Amino acid sequence: MEEIKSLKGVSFETIFNAFQEAFKEYEMQLNKEELLRMLERRGFRPELSFAAFHGDKIVSFTLNGIGFFEGVNTAYDTGSGTIKAYRGKGLATKIFNHSLPSLKQAGVKQYLLEVLQHNDKAVSVYRKIGFEATRELNYFVVNANKIQFNQKELSSNYSVQIIEKSNWEEMKEWWNFHPTWQNSFDAILRKPEDFLVYGVYTEGVLVGYCVFEPISGDITQIAVKPEFRRKGIATVLLKRMVEVNKHENIKLINTDLQCNAVTAFMNAFSVSPAGKQFEMILKL
pLDDT tens track for 201-235: 999 999 999 999 999 999 999 999 999 999 999 99
Please name which of 15, 43, 44, 45 lies closest in space to residue 30, comparing C-alpha atoms: 15
Is the domain of 168 the same as that of 103?
no
8 band by pLDDT with thresholds 50, 70 and 90: very high
Q: What does the alpha-carbon distance between residue 221 and residue 170 come to, in Å, rounded to a whole number? A: 14
> What 3-state class would DSSP assign to 227?
helix
Q: What is the pLDDT of residues 106-153, one digit of tens each?
A: 999 999 999 999 999 889 989 999 999 999 999 999 999 999 887 666
Choose the final residue of a domain: 108, 126, 153. 108
User: Is the separation of the CB atoms in 75 and 103 below 8 Å?
Assistant: yes
55 band by pLDDT with thresholds 50, 70 and 90: very high
On whether residue 114 sits in a domain, the answer given is no
27 band by pLDDT with thresholds 50, 70 and 90: low
Q: What is the number of structural domains in the chain? A: 2
Is the domain of 156 the same as that of 69?
no
For the CA atoms of 35, 37, 38, 42, the dihedral, rounded to the nearest 10 degrees, stands at 140
170 band by pLDDT with thresholds 50, 70 and 90: confident
Angle at the Cα of 232 (from 227 to 236), degrees rounded to 5?
Answer: 120
pLDDT at residue 26, as a whole number: 74
On whether residue 126 sits in a domain, the answer given is no
Percent of the chain with pLDDT over 70: 98
pLDDT at residue 169, as a whole number: 86
Average pLDDT (92-108) is 96
Q: What does the alpha-carbon distance between residue 79 and residue 42 come to, in Å, rounded to a whole number? A: 10
Is the domain of 14 the same as that of 93?
yes
On whether residue 132 sits in a domain, the answer given is no
On whether residue 252 sits in a domain, the answer given is yes
Q: How far are the Cα atoms of 71, 95, 153, 195 from residue 187, in angstroms, in the given order?
A: 14, 25, 32, 11
Please name which of 182, 177, 209, 179 lies closest in space to residue 194, comparing C-alpha atoms: 182
pLDDT at residue 252, as a whole number: 96
* Start-end of H helices in the chain: 12-22, 32-41, 91-105, 120-129, 168-172, 185-190, 233-244, 260-267
- Cα end-to-end span (Å), the chain: 29
Q: What is the pTM of this model?
A: 0.92
pLDDT at residue 208, as a whole number: 96
Q: What CATH number did the domain enclosing 206 receive?
A: 3.40.630.30
Number of Cβ within 10 Å of residue 43's Cβ equals: 21
pLDDT at residue 151, as a whole number: 66
On whether residue 32 sits in a domain, the answer given is yes
User: Is the separation of the CB atoms in 91 and 18 below 8 Å?
Assistant: no
* Start-end of H helices in 42-153: 91-105, 120-129
Is the domain of 92 the same as that of 50?
yes
| Model confidence at 28: pLDDT above 70 | no
Is the domain of 51 the same as that of 144?
no
Task: Tell which wins on pLDDT, 169 or 32.
Answer: 32
Is the domain of 102 the same as that of 56?
yes
Residue span of the structural domain in which 189 resides: 140-275
Choose the final residue of a domain: 87, 108, 129. 108
Average pLDDT (74-78) is 97
On whether residue 50 sits in a domain, the answer given is yes
Please name which of 243, 238, 244, 193 lies closest in space to residue 219, comparing C-alpha atoms: 238
Mean pLDDT of the chain: 94
Is the domain of 173 the same as that of 271?
yes
Please name which of 57, 56, 73 lies closest in space to residue 65, comparing C-alpha atoms: 73
